[in-house]
Structures are given as C-alpha cells and as structure tokens.
Amino acid sequence: MPDALPLETHTAVSLGILLLASLAGGIVADLVRIPKVTAYLLAGVCVGPSVADWIGAEHMHQLEPLTKLAMALVLLELGCQFPVAHLRPILRRATWLSVGEIATTFSMVAISIWMFGYGLSCAVLLGALALATAPATTVLVLKESNSEGPVTELAGVLVALNNIVAIIAFELLFLVAQLISRDSVGDAASQITQLVVDLGGACGLGILGGLILGYGSGLLNRRRWLVMVLAVAILLLGLCESWHLPYMLTFLVSGVVLVNTTDSSTDLLAENEKIAGLLVVVFFAVHGAELQLQAFLTAGLLGAIYIGARTGGKILGIRWSARVRMEAATVRRYLGTCLLAQAGAAIALAAVAAQRWPELGTQIQNVILGSVVFFEILGPILIRWSVLKAGEVHLAQAISHRTETAASQAAKMWVRGREALGFRPSAPMDIQSLAVRDLLRSNVPGLAQTADFDAVIDHIRRSHDNTYVVLNDDQQVVGLVRYALLSDTFFDASIDTLVCAEDLASPLETTLSPQDPLHVAVDAFRATSDDVLPVVEEDSGGRYLGILRRGDLTEIAIRHRS
C-alpha cells in the first residue's frame, strides 16, 4: 500500500465494504431470483478472508455486538408469532411434527456417525447439534417471500421449538457424553444444576424484558418506541453475555410475553423494522465473511456424513410424522426442506463444546463450521423453493420486476446533472409539433393470446412495464394484462396448464394512433392508471405497432417546462 495510507484500516471501512458488497449481492439476487439472505452471505464470503481477504478477523470480532443484536431482534420478532389464542389450534400439530422430526434427525445423525466408528460421545453431541435450525435465516427468507399458508406457519413454530430443544438437549447430552467417557457423576450433578439455573435465568430475563416492552409501549409516545426496544434489547443482551445465559432463549421468551400482554406488538415491531433491516444485512454479511471454506474441506468424511444424515433426518422426519398426522401433501413434501438452514445456535453450542472439552469439542466444531457453509448457502434457496412449490408465495413476490433499466436511470442522471450545471438544449423543443409516433416504442413485443402461464411470467420478468399488450394471430390487440391485478392472485401450480394470456387479459379501453398529437395521449393517460398504452395502425385493421410509455411522456413535459 502507498506510504500515505495507513497499514491498518478502521472498522468502519470493513463495515462499509460489507454493506456495499451486500448491496451488490442484493441486486444480483433480484436478477437471478435467489433469496437475498444467500446473496448477503455470498457477498460476505467474497470480501472475507476465504476469498478477497478485505475484512480482517479482528474487525469481524468488533462487529460481533451488532450481529448479536440483529439476532436478538429477529428472535424477538419470532417470539411475537406465538400469541396463545393463535398458537393453541396449531400447537398440537406442530408438537407432533416437531417430535417426529427431532427424533428422526437425532437418530439418523447419531447412528450414522457411530456406525462409521467416530465414537458414541461424538455421535450424540453432533446428533443434538443437528436439531438446531437457523432462526434468522429461516424467518427472514419467509418474510422476504411474503409467504402465507400451512408450510410457512408450521415452519415458524418448528424453528422456535427446534432451537429450544437443541439448547436443552445439547446440555443434557453433553453430560451423557462425559459420563460415557469419564464416568464423572459428581461433575454431572453440578452441571445439571447450572443448566437449570441458566435456563431459568434466561427465561426470567425474557419475561422481564417482554413486560417492560409491553408496559412501555402503552406509556411512551410512538416516536420513542424504537429507542425503548433498542435500550431493552441491548441491556438484556449485555446481561446474558455477562452472566453466560443463552440469549436466544431470552429473546424468544420476550417476544412471546410481549405479544400476549399488549395489543401494540405489531406496531412495535414495525418501528423496530427501521433499524432491524440494516442490522440483518450486517448480520449475514459478517456471518458470510466468517464462513471458512477451508473448514468445509477439513470436515472431510465426518462432515459429509453429518450433512447427509441431517438433511435426510429433517426431510424424512417431517414426511413420516406428517403422514401419521394426515397433514396436507404440501406439508409432507416441503416443510422438511424449510428446516435445513443452520448457523448461529449450532456454532455457539459447538464453541461451548470446544471450550469445555477440547479433545472432542474441536473435532465437533470443525464439523459444524464446515457444514454451516453448506447449510447456510443452500438452506435459504431451499426455503424459498419450498414455499414457492407449496403455492404459498404471493405472485408479486415470486416475480423480480423493475420498471427502470440501468441505462435509462443513467440517462436520467446525465440529463439532470447537465441541467443542474446550467446546460440547456441548443434549441427549445416544440412540444406542440410532436405526435405519438415521435415517442413510439416499436421494439416492445406483445404477448400471444395463446401464451401459457409460464410464458406470461417470463414475459413479465423481462419487461420493464406494468402493463402488457396481448395480441392475436393477426397482430391485433385483444386486451391488456395488468401486473397490479395479476399480483393480487395467489400462484397455484395446479392451474399452470389451464390458463393462457387471453384468460388473464382485461378488455381494451383505449388505443393510440401514430398520428395522434401528444395532448391526445395526455388525456388518455389521465383516464387510466396503466403505465403504457398500445399504439395501432388504423389503416391496416388495427395492427399493433408498439407502445407509448407514460414515463416518456412525463419526461418530455418536464424538459419542455424547464
């Protein structure tokens, strides 16, 4: 580096690089239609030590309080999904499914590892860690997808149950593993006591935090809610870290208490969104930078066994238990793949194992760190795929759609910059002499009226408009498909082959002719909310020529006024 630059950068530089990389990753995610969570993780991997090494390990350590606060806020929101009145009807279903999935996952992981000769202690501990599901990843992918239905609802409940069971099961099975290897009954008794104290303390802090938030929301002005949430969350997080309590359990309990003691939990979470979104991006970017690609290879055969057995356990466990409970086919097929993501809880518990029992814990930690690379990158993609296949994603969320292109935005900025500096066109534009043909977009194709549903969706993805012209075999306009109306329906995979563009089209109300003056187009746009109007040649039986965009007309009006 040049002598004028410092050899060591400030943490803010690393944070800025992570946020810019995440921003770029989010744009790519829209283009290739993958969950933004995966994009943030991959962006962190690219700028982190595993690839570009632009982010120092010490900086990631300094950003750890932000990542833990992000996790805390996500868990608080997750806990708020469990109002007792709403939970009671689905709790029995979710409990049976959770028991089947947990039992199958633990058994498959533990038995598989033990059969390959890695020892019973290692097998039971990895079996316990396999139960944990990444709450932040799962919740945020479901939230980003705006999904709604039995798979989404049950996934949220099972994620919470999985992590609570994983924390308790790990502590208990850790004692069992020590008994198998060391036969230390005295140590086990004291550790059981400590476990009860830790879990009780975490629940107690969670209850207190939920009550404070609920009480404060009724007394304080809404503008102060965000400060209250952050103050309580940071305080609870600090107390959990100081007293070595499981903070994930604390914030889950806080959310449950909050939603069941106040009617303002939804509004409180809406205020929380103002900062939670940024913290979540930081969480996944830092988490991606911390992923160790080399650890994935280091895990070796043991890591491959763990990945395969855990994946099979989650999917088969849900399928078997859902079949016994006679759940819907979509629950049997797609709920298991919603539970594969794994990160925070498993990493934290593996670190505890490495600290308490270095001989075995280090090996377990390597397996978890290596498998997290797989589960965190593939997990969000599978979650989104699952809710899409289950038909629980609003069509507007399933389609990545923009009305502005990169080139048009750059052109607008160029024109605006020239005008700001005082540069004007050499000759004023005579808007009165312009006609529709001067703004005609003749290279915009229409939709064939026989196009199937998949073809319509592909057309929308490629388009930058919100209204799409439907044509017959003679290139005459027969109607318009409007994105706003189409996105109000729910995607149902069973009717794909039954719907064509003509079925989705609305009757045509207005067309323009190339010879029409622009004031005719202005009047036509005032009478409709469509962003484009079809232009047809009247002398050739109404043959479609192209479209006139509202945005182009507006830009001409603005330039003429200036």
**Model pLDDT for residues 171-203, shown as the tens digit of each residue:** 788 888 877 776 454 556 777 787 788 889 999
* pLDDT, tens only, 266-281: 888 888 877 877 888 8
Question: Do 455 and 364 share a domain, yes or no?
Answer: no
How far apart, in whole angstroms, are the C-alpha atoms of residue 480 and residue 502? 9
Q: What is the pLDDT of residue 208?
A: 96
Residue 365 and residue 445 share a domain: no
Number of domains in the chain: 2
Among candidate residues 210, 205, 280, the one with its CA nearest the CA of residue 242? 205
In a domain, 482, yes or no: yes
Query: Are residue 196 and residue 291 in the same domain, yes or no?
Result: yes
Residue 507 falls within a domain, yes or no? yes
Asked if residue 246 and residue 112 are part of one domain, the reply reads yes
Domain that holds residue 473: 436-549
Name the 3-class secondary structure at 425. Answer: coil
Same domain, 155 and 240: yes
Task: Pick the last residue of a domain from 327, 358, 393.
Answer: 393
Kindly compute the dihedral angle of the four CA atoms of residues 350, 356, 359, 363, in this order, to the nearest 10 degrees.
Answer: 0
Burial of 28 by CB count in 10 Å (0-12 exposed, 13-18 middle, 19+ buried)? middle
User: Which of 177, 133, 552 has its CA nearest to residue 352?
Assistant: 177
Distances (CA, A) of 208 to 215, 262, 268: 11, 14, 17
Q: Tell me the pairing of strands 543-549 and 532-537.
A: antiparallel
Angle CA 372–196–209, to nearest 5: 75
CA-based torsion, 548, 553, 554, 559: positive or negative: positive
How far apart are the C-alpha atoms of 279 and 281, rounded to whole Å?
5
Phi/psi zone of residue 428: left (φ > 0), alpha (ψ -120 to 50 degrees), beta?
Answer: beta
Please tell me whether residues 232 and 364 are part of one structural domain: yes
Structural tokens at position 434: 């312009």
Give the integer Cα–Cα distance in Å for 160 and 78: 8
Longest dimension (CA), the chain: 97
Q: What is the DSSP string of 430-473?
A: -GGG-BGGGS-BTT---EETT-BHHHHHHHHHH-S-SEEEEE-T
Q: Annotate 409-422 with DSSP letters as a single string.
A: HHHHHHHHHHHHTT
- DSSP-derived secondary structure letter, 495: G
What phi and psi values does residue 169 have, to the nearest 5 degrees?
-65, -40
Domain-ending residue, one of 393, 415, 444: 393
Positions of the chain with pLDDT lower than 50, given as ranges: 1-6, 183, 185, 396, 427, 488-491, 493
Buried b (16+ CB within 10 A) or exposed e, 317-332: bbbbbbeeeebeebbb
Q: Which of 333, 361, 393 is the last residue of a domain?
A: 393
* Claim to verify: residue 209 and residue 284 sit in the same structural domain: yes
Residue type, 96: W
Could you write out the DSSP letters of every residue in 48-79? STTTT--S-HHHHHHTHHHHHHHHHHHHHHHH
89: tokens are: 């009807």
Q: Are residues 531 and 461 in the same domain?
A: yes
Give the pLDDT of residue 358: 82
Domain assignment of residue 183, yes or no = yes
Asked, for residue 48, whether it belongs to a domain, the answer is no
Instruction: For residue 307, tell me if it sits in a domain.
Output: yes
Compute the 3-state secondary structure of the chain and give helix, strand, coil in percent, each to the nearest 5: 70, 5, 20
What is the dihedral sign for C-alpha 117, 121, 126, 127? Answer: positive
Report CA torsion sign: 80, 84, 86, 91: positive
Please indicate, yes or no, whether residues 378 and 490 belong to a single structural domain of this protein.
no
Same domain? 370 vs 493: no
Q: Is residue 490 part of a domain?
A: yes
Amino acid identity at 103 = A
Q: What is the CATH number of the domain that holds 536?
A: 3.10.580.10
- Residue 315 sits in the same domain as residue 455: no
Cβ atoms 494, 430 nearer than 8 A: no
pTM comes to 0.67
Half-sphere exposure of 37 (CA within 13 A, CB side): 26
Q: What is the DSSP string of 369-411?
A: HHHHHHHHHHHHHHHHHHHHHTT-BBHHHHS---S--HHHHHH
Regarding whether 376 and 467 lie in a shared domain, the answer is no
Q: Does 562 fall in a domain?
A: no
In the chain, DSSP finds a helix count (H) and a strand count (E) of: 24, 5
339: its two tokens: 């539970």
| pLDDT at position 20 | 92
User: Do residues 219 and 44 make contact, with C-beta atoms less than 8 angstroms apart?
Assistant: no
Rounded Cα distance between 558 and 522, Å, is 13
Under DSSP, the state recorded for 477 is E
What is the pLDDT at residue 490? Answer: 41
Token couple for 227: 């400060």
Q: In this predicted structure, what is the pLDDT of residue 183?
A: 47
Residue 402 lies in a domain: no
Contacting residues for 21 by C-beta, under 8 A, at least 6 apart: 43, 44, 46, 47, 285
